[in-house]
Structure 1
Amino acid sequence: MSITHYTKEILDILDLHLTFSEDCFRKEKIAGEMSFVFYGKLTYQAQSCFHCGVEDPQHFVKWGFKTVRYLLNDVSEYKTYLKIKKQRFRCKICGKTFIAASSVADRYCSIARRVKLSIDEKLMEPFSMATIARMKHVSPTTVLRELRRFEKSQRPSKDSLPEVLCFDEFQSVNRVAGAMSFIMMDGQSHQLLDIVANRQLPHLQRYFARYDSQARKHVQFVVSDFYSPYASLVKTFFPNAQLVIDRFHISQHIGRAFQNQRTQVMKRFASKTGPHKHLKKFWKLLQKNAWELDYEQHHWRPSFRAHLTEQDIVDRLLAYSSELRQGYRVYQAFLSAIHGKNQQKFDQLLAEDYAFLPKAFQTVIQTFKVYHQEIAWAFTVPYSNGPLEGLNNHIKVLKRVAYGFRNFQNFRERIFLYRGKYFQSVSPEVSLKHKRKSS
């Protein structure tokens, strides 16, 4: 193998006309930093003029060389450059000169295409754009320019919608009204469909009005939380769709009511007393599903000065207040009905009288009665907002790592790139091969 072949393999270059000599590598100091520099030569017979477009090689004269420097991906953690001595040509027809084109980089650009591809891959990871710029030795503006190349490809088609839609919102940039943005996902394939800057009803109405009426009629189910504008939105724009309240939000609603009751009971005790400390420290055990509590393994609990199981701790916490014990029983009864998708038991719980419970409980139960039909669908269909909630968690990580975003469009494009790693469609053949290998 020749030096040219080995050098191209190291630098990941495929240009057939680029050659390297034996002394092509040097270690130089560029911009105050020691860097690897590779020297190459690019020459061939031009087939057409870049300016006038003439396609007769007889009209082109070789007109010396011009050295061009390109930034490459790092080699052995060193900043790496490629200096190419490019052939110049002169066109006899138009009298203008042009230089040989290379596949290493785009014309008029000193950053190699491989570097740009590497930037695109980094944008799919939870890195800030400033961090990516430092890693690839480019400016943040270059990273931003690469990000905005994907803007057109992220515009969804307004001619089709899936049968199942998942609606949710997440905390967006401060410049958005209410700082909350709307996010929509396919409930079957779990593909992110679109992100709208504002989740308020007038903005969503204008957004969905752009979709074709037949596409909106194709939607059969819309899964969402208890955000009231979604109900009116579904009724207006999706005539054949049924609104389904996500089971997670049903559990979350009743869980927050019990959490408020626990806080009220805790504040009745002095801050330095045992009951106050215990109710504050072991609150997660009270929120946990009762059937998942450990009742076998005993561990030393310094605050109780005894070896106790999780079930023992819960029993001692509930002994501090009869009201808390009643609220806990109601809370666990609803959790059991939701977890088991037992609509009959859920309806029986709604029919009971809860005048003895705090106002927070009564408000939640009244909300359940208002959305009774939508909750009933949650016990029937297999769809949920679980994948969308998982994506929201990744969005929070991305936002925290990037120290926030000021521009919503940049934030939206990063989410579309970032979610591609977690929600990629896999063909049945690929999935079957993966299962065979794992088995």
Structure 2
Amino acid sequence: MSQLDNTLKLLGITDTNIQVFGTREEFHGRGSGRKKYLVIQAELTYTLRRYPSCGYNTLHPNGHKLTHVHIAGPMDRPVILELNKQRWRCSNCHSTCTAATPVVSTNHAIGHGLATHMLKLASKSLPAKTIASLTGISTNSVQRILTANIHPHLSINLCFDEFRSTHGSMSFICIDADTHKSVKVLSDRLNRTIKQFFLSQYSTAERAGRWIPFTLNV
């Protein structure tokens, strides 16, 4: 194994279809957010004979697609994998496809390893801005990943109530009966609003078997 390929192994990337051919350092960002990045130049290619959609054995190489993937690296240096992905074209359905890797989801720019690292940092109660600074990606990207992967816990014991809020209108509040912490405040007390919140935020299993005392005026 070459020293360049060993670089990927040290970063936890074991996909043998990725071949490294160079590294460089470059700066990204502005002002206080400007950072030095380690850029790893690599190619992703393998043998693919049948197009995944139509199943015909009519695939032909069709160049490459250059992508940039943020991956987990040393704490003092964010890392970008500059990955040149093999493309193919199907002469049967005239569609194209691009090589895929377990390192990152299709059409995404943040690797799974880095996303996992961000979740670990979030578990230490670090704010999104600090996580963004440590990982070299934007605060908005950090927030999107945390929102997509951190699911709120629904207590078994809940309290529902209503209260008068702005302009005399009635709002809905849900409280954890064990910790007395607010779960959610909704701007109205309509049945459909309350149902939509719980249906969209929690699974059937999470919603089942809850003990809910409530005092809603009719």
Fold shared, TM-score > 0.5 on shorter chain: yes
Please name the residue that 1:196 is paired with: 183
Question: What's the Cα RMSD here?
Answer: 3.8
Q: Which runs of 5+ in 1 are unaligned?
A: 168-176, 186-191, 220-229, 237-439
The correspondence of residues 139-218 of structure 1 with structure 2, limited to 5 A, is 139-150=138-149, 153-154=151-152, 156=154, 182-185=175-178, 196-198=183-185, 215=209
What whole-Å deviation, never above 9, does each CA across 1:31-79 have from its counterpart, x for those lacking one? 46432111111111225435xx0224x3100112222111122336122
Please name the residue that 2:42 is paired with: 40
Greater percentage in strand? 2
2:88/2:98 contact within 8 Å kept: yes
Query: Are residues 1:28 and 2:8 paired?
Result: no
Query: Are residues 1:17 and 2:2 paired?
Result: no
- Residue 156 of structure 1: how far off its partner (Å): 4.4
Secondary structure of the corresponding residue to residue 121 of structure 1: helix
Q: Which runs of 5+ in 2 are unaligned?
A: 160-169
Please name the residue that 1:82 is paired with: 81
Quick one: structure 1 residues 215 and 65, their matched pair in 2 at CA, closer, same or farther if it must change by over 3 Å? Answer: closer
The correspondence of residues 370-385 of structure 1 with structure 2, limited to 5 A, is none
1:14/1:103 contact within 8 Å kept: no
Distance across 1 between alignment mates of 2:93 and 2:158:
60
What whole-Å deviation, never above 9, does each CA across 1:150-180 have from its counterpart, x for those lacking one? 46x54649xxx5xxx598xxxxxxxxx99x9
Distance across 2 between alignment mates of 1:149 and 1:70:
19
Distance across 1 between alignment mates of 2:103 and 2:117:
14
Counterpart residue identity of residue 88, structure 1: R
Distance across 1 between alignment mates of 2:182 and 2:108:
33
2:86/2:98 contact within 8 Å kept: yes
The correspondence of residues 17-416 of structure 1 with structure 2, limited to 5 A, is 17-21=17-21, 24-31=22-29, 33-49=35-51, 53-56=53-56, 58-75=57-74, 77-150=76-149, 153-154=151-152, 156=154, 182-185=175-178, 196-198=183-185, 215=209, 233=213
Quick one: structure 1 residues 84 and 125, their matched pair in 2 at CA, closer, same or farther if it must change by over 3 Å? Answer: same
- Residue 139 of structure 1: how far off its partner (Å): 2.0
1:166/1:184 contact within 8 Å kept: yes
Counterpart residue identity of residue 140, structure 2: T
Distance across 1 between alignment mates of 2:88 and 2:27:
32
Quick one: structure 1 residues 81 and 150, their matched pair in 2 at CA, closer, same or farther if it must change by over 3 Å? Answer: closer
Quick one: structure 1 residues 150 and 88, their matched pair in 2 at CA, closer, same or farther if it must change by over 3 Å? Answer: closer
Over alpha carbons, which structure has the higher Rg? 1
Percent identity over the alignment?
20
- Residue 123 of structure 1: how far off its partner (Å): 1.8
Secondary structure of the corresponding residue to residue 63 of structure 1: strand
Distance across 2 between alignment mates of 1:215 and 1:29:
53
User: How many residues are paired up?
Assistant: 183
Quick one: structure 1 residues 166 and 155, their matched pair in 2 at CA, closer, same or farther if it must change by over 3 Å? Answer: closer
Counterpart residue identity of residue 175, structure 2: F
Distance across 1 between alignment mates of 2:55 and 2:153:
39
Distance across 2 between alignment mates of 1:48 and 1:146:
33
1:184/1:195 contact within 8 Å kept: no
- Give the structure-2-normalised TM-score: 0.66
What whole-Å deviation, never above 9, does each CA across 1:188-228 have from its counterpart, x for those lacking one? xxxx8x95325xxx99xx89xx99xx947xx7xxxxxxxxx
- Residue 90 of structure 1: how far off its partner (Å): 0.6
Distance across 1 between alignment mates of 2:142 and 2:35:
21
Distance across 2 between alignment mates of 1:87 and 1:144:
31
Distance across 2 between alignment mates of 1:33 and 1:135:
10
Distance across 2 between alignment mates of 1:137 and 1:195:
33
Quick one: structure 1 residues 18 and 75, their matched pair in 2 at CA, closer, same or farther if it must change by over 3 Å? Answer: same
2:11/2:73 contact within 8 Å kept: no
Distance across 2 between alignment mates of 1:166 and 1:41:
53
Secondary structure of the corresponding residue to residue 87 of structure 1: strand
Greater percentage in helix? 1
Distance across 1 between alignment mates of 2:49 and 2:124:
42
